[in-house]
Amino acid sequence: MVKMDTFSTPGIYSIADLFHCSKSDEKSGNLFDDRLFIGERVNYNAKLFQHPHRMDGVVLLICRKGWLNGSVNLMPHRIEEGMLAVFHREHLLQFWSQSDDFEASAIVLSSQFIQEMHIDLKQAIPIFMHLKDNPAIHITEEEHSVLNMFYETIRCVLRSSDDIHRPAIIQRLLEAMFYKILAIHQNKVPEVSFRRGRREEFFERFMELLTQYHKQERSMGFYAERLHITPKYLSSVIKEVSGKSAAEWIDQYVILEAKALLRYSGLSIQEIAYELNFSTQSFFGKYFKHHTGISPSAYKHK
């Protein structure tokens, strides 16, 4: 077994960091708005990967040839021909060797990109739980062919820089690809792996309540009361199951709703503040800017 390097604080690398590790040839990779990377010639022997790190988003690897050795959450893992690997921000990654013939198609989506995708979280929770300890699985030739079709189509669209609908097309293709990966995991993993414990039930119920009430309620106390648990216990349970706190989930839902209203509703900022149950437009503006870095007005008109 390869001895792992010691470290103090693992880095969190962006998609741009990964792009700079791609090799300089015709298949090195494409970068889209610093939110999406797609490529085949990533140098996994680069110094960037030699120490434990996290990626700010989700990494999909479809291995076509050879092997890649490394660790996930400090446990040794090997990705080899015919495997699909899915890594997310909660995975602590390290790669230390690869075969000379190693080839893999890589798609990396930023956290921001993922938040804007239309994904049924209730369906994704069991897969998310399974991926925490089992990020790589073997896939059939047919499954590999379907995923490769998605990969090539997305890469082709990325190169169509004159297509004004390119962002929407890419997002929908990635959403479809996600559901195909979801189906692959559901078919391959024994049903026992998807049994929900009490914590997962709390998480699912919390997400249902959040979907229903996030326009009116931003207080953890409200959701904890509905679940008949304390706010402190709610926060710890949600963090353990999903990797994000209850407060972070609440903020994410409110901000996504605010962005949709600002971009598509035609309502004024004052009306949107009222719609989302903010006491004043000023309070809404400060809240929105705190979480996005820009004002509601700037977002509405960009």
Q: Residue 57's pLDDT band (boundaries 50, 70, 90)?
A: confident
pLDDT digits (tens, 9 = 90+) for 37-47: 898 877 777 77
Q: Is the pLDDT of residue 192 over 70?
A: no
| Digit-coded pLDDT (tens) for 224-240 | 999 999 999 999 999 88
- Flag whether pLDDT at 17 surpasses 90: no
**Is residue 121 very low, low, confident or very high in pLDDT (cuts 50, 70, 90)?**
low
What is the number of other CB atoms lying within 10 angstroms of the CB of residue 142?
Answer: 8
pLDDT at 138 over 90: yes
Would you state the pLDDT for residue 5?
40
> Domain-by-domain residue ranges, the chain?
11-192, 198-301
Instruction: Label residue 131 exposed, middle or buried (CB < 10 Å: 0-12, 13-18, 19+).
Output: buried
CATH 1.10.10.60, applies to 198-301:
yes
Per-residue pLDDT at 6 exceeds 60: no
pLDDT at 247 over 90: yes
State the chain's mean pLDDT as an integer.
Answer: 83
Q: In whole angstroms, give the CA distance from residue 103 to residue 162.
A: 30
CB 280 within 8 Å of CB 273: yes
Cα–Cα distance for residue pair 57/189, rounded to 1 Å: 24
pLDDT for position 191:
52
Phi, psi of 49 (to 5 degrees): -95, -5
| Cβ proximity of 25 and 66 under 8 Å | no
pLDDT given for residue 190 in this prediction: 58
> What's the CATH number for 11-192?
2.60.120.280
d(CA 242, CA 248): 11
State the CB neighbour count (10 A cutoff) for residue 261.
20
